[in-house]
C-alpha cells in the first residue's frame, strides 16, 4: 500500500510538472485520462484524485474529481451500451462470472447497488459501468446512481488521500459530513427497500 501511495504521488508530481496546467484547466488533461482509464484501466483513478488535490486544494480538488469521475462513468456506460458492447463483452465477460452475484444485485436494486459498488472498491469502476449497461436499469436511473455513487466514492477517497498531500490537514468536518451523508443514504435505502418488498408481495398475491 505504501509503495502504491508513493507511486501515485510521484506520478502526480510528474503530471503537474509536465503539463504546467493550473486551476480548473487541469480538467483538460484529467477528463480524457479518466475516460482512457475507464476503458483500459492501466492506472488507478486515485492518481487523478491526487492530481486534483495537489493543483486545486481539498474542496475544489474533490469537486473536480467528482465531476471527472461522473463524466467518465457516463461515457463508459454509453460506450458499453451503444458502441463498444462487443469489445467489452470479450474483455470483461469472464470477470462477470466472478461477479455474477453483483450483477444480480444491480438487476434487483439498480441505483442502490451501483452506489454501493462505487463506494466500496470490490470491483473496477469500468466493470460497474459495463454491468449497469447490460442490466435492466434505465439510463436515467444509472445517471443518478453514477452521480451519487461517484460523490460517495470521491468523498471517501478524499478522506483517505488528503493527508498524503496535506499532512497537517484537519479532516474532522470532512469525516463528519461524510458520515451524515451515509446515514441519510441508509435511511432512504431502508424506506425504498421496504416499499419495493411490499410491492413484490402485492404482485405475488395478485398472481
HSE at residue 63, side-chain half, CA atoms within 13 A, is: 7
Residue 40: the pLDDT is 74
Residue 81: the pLDDT is 78
Rg, C-alpha atoms of the chain: 18
- Dump the DSSP string for 62-79: HHHHHHHHHHHHHHHHHI
Residues 153 and 178: their CA atoms lie apart, in Å, by: 10
Alpha helices in the chain (DSSP H): 2-19, 27-40, 46-56, 58-78, 85-98, 100-109, 111-119, 125-133, 139-165, 172-206
The domain total for the chain is 1
Residue 67: the pLDDT is 94
Residues 97 and 171: their CA atoms lie apart, in Å, by: 39
Quote the domain boundaries for residue 86.
2-206
Residue 147: the pLDDT is 92
Q: What are all long-range contacts of 133-140, with beta carbons under 8 Å and residues at least 24 apart?
A: 133/77, 133/80, 133/81, 133/85, 133/88, 134/80, 134/85, 135/103, 135/106, 135/107, 135/110, 136/107, 137/106, 137/107, 137/110, 137/111, 139/77, 139/81
Residues of the chain with pLDDT under 50: 1-2
SS (H, E, C) 41-53: CCCCCHHHHHHHH
pTM: 0.78
Residue 1: the pLDDT is 46
pLDDT in tens, 39-81: 776 677 877 888 888 888 888 989 999 999 999 999 988 888 7
Integer angstrom CA distances of residue 32 from 29, 39, 148, 203, 205: 6, 11, 21, 46, 51
Amino acid at each position: 500500500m505504501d509503495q502504491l501511495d508513493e507511486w501515485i504521488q510521484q506520478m502526480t508530481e510528474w503530471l503537474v510538472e509536465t503539463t504546467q496546467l493550473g486551476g480548473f484547466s487541469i480538467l483538460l488533461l484529467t477528463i480524457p485520462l479518466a475516460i482512457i482509464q475507464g476503458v483500459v484501466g492501466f492506472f488507478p483513478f486515485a492518481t487523478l484524485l491526487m492530481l486534483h488535490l495537489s493543483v486545486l486544494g481539498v474542496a475544489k480538488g474533490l469537486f473536480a474529481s467528482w465531476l471527472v469521475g461522473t463524466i467518465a462513468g457516463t461515457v463508459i456506460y454509453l460506450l458499453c451500451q451503444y458502441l463498444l458492447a462487443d469489445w467489452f463483452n470479450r474483455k470483461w465477460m469472464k470477470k462477470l462470472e466472478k461477479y455474477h452475484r453483483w450483477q444480480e444485485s444491480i438487476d434487483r436494486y439498480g441505483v442502490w447497488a451501483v452506489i454501493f459498488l462505487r463506494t466500496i472498491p470490490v470491483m473496477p469502476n469500468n466493470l460497474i459501468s459495463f454491468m449497469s449497461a447490460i442490466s435492466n436499469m434505465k439510463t436515467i436511473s444509472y445517471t443518478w446512481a453514477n452521480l451519487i455513487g461517484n460523490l460517495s466514492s470521491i468523498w471517501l477517497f478524499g478522506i483517505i488521500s488528503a493527508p498524503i498531500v496535506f499532512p497537517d490537514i484537519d479532516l474532522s468536518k470532512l469525516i463528519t459530513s461524510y458520515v451524515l451523508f451515509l446515514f441519510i443514504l441508509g435511511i432512504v435505502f431502508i424506506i425504498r427497500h421496504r416499499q419495493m418488498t411490499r410491492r413484490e408481495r402485492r404482485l405475488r398475491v395478485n398472481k
